[in-house]
Amino acid sequence: MTLLLAGDIGGTKTILRLVEVSEQLLLHNVYEERHRSGDFPDLVPMVREFLKNSGGLLPQKACFAIAGPVVDNTAKLTNLAWFLDAKRLQEELGIAQVRLINDFAAVGYGVLGLSPQDILTLQPGKPNSNAPIAIIGAGTGLGQGFLIKQGSSYQIFPSEGGHADFGPRTELEFQLLKYLLDKHDIQRVSVERVVSGLGIVAIYQFLRDRQTTAESPEIAQIVRTWEQEAGKQEKSVDPGAVIGKAALQKSDRLSEQTIELFVGAYGAEAGNLALKLLPYGGLYLAGGIAPKILPLIQEDKFMLNFTQKGRMRSLLEDIPVHVILNQEVGLIGAAIGATRL
């Protein structure tokens, strides 16, 4: 048995997990802790405290999923004043091999470790185990990536597809595009500005400002508070989550309209990714938003927009589409990434 350390490093929280891996590459969780990232000046003291609490266990290999770009096994976290270098981590922690990977690349590895209960299938399609696998995930931003099979294993490729141009398809979406261009005084709108947690708020603001549907006082106050806290690193409210919950409960018409527009745009962008990759190995929805509004994702709007690609519709109807329910997929991926060292 080999002992591995897997970490999911975010600007707000960090999850560390010790994992035993057998010769058959079966993973067994040994010990886990969660920490507030901002409570530590660097990853090293956090890991040292974690290993001490674990009873002094020392892993042979470690892989950390990082919320930010990874270049030459180094990373500067997006929302945290940490600069991580795998070579320095090896030396200071006494771990023989350390690897840093982007958090969405970790999701790619994590897909390979999911069990049937970890996913919900929106479209069974016609799976092909030799075809690419695609990942798209709306959360804080919009992550995209893909896996290509090489022999008996997969190589994971992260992508910046979330920063591609937003492509409106209806009159309402064209109005949304114009609204965002004018509001932010910008020359282009990325799809991430629409299909993300911030995108949910942007859509709500757009529909609110059109004044065709009345706001509820409760949600109006939450959105106003969020707007007043613009520029602060930590916000006291999460309007995207509140809007999604209200849409689920059908307690606020404006929220319902917001999520309907969001789900349609999400499905369309997932379909765009599928057209480029033809991922008959499966397209997986990652990120924190889809599981929270799952009944609305399961309605016709998402898959209708996914497959609504003209003459290519029949191709997209053959692609398996799944929602990842296990929110620890990145941590699972970090453990699998460590086995590749």
Kindly compute the dihedral angle of the four CA atoms of residues 275, 277, 281, 287, in this order, to the nearest 10 degrees.
-80
Distance separating alpha carbons of residues 54 and 290, to the nearest angstrom: 34
Positions at the binding site: 7-12
In this structure, are residues 155 and 223 in contact, taking their beta carbons and an 8 Å threshold?
A: no
Task: For 77-90, give the DSSP string.
Answer: -TTSS-EEEHHHHH
Positions at the binding site for ATP: 7-12
The three-state secondary structure class of 20 is strand
Per-residue b or e along 277-307, where b marks 16 or more CB atoms closer than 10 Å to that residue's CB: bbbbbbbbbbbebbbebbebbeeebbbebbb
Per-residue b or e along 218-230, where b marks 16 or more CB atoms closer than 10 Å to that residue's CB: ebbebbeebeeee
Q: Which residues pair with 3 in a beta bridge?
A: 20
The total number of residues written for the chain in this structure? 341
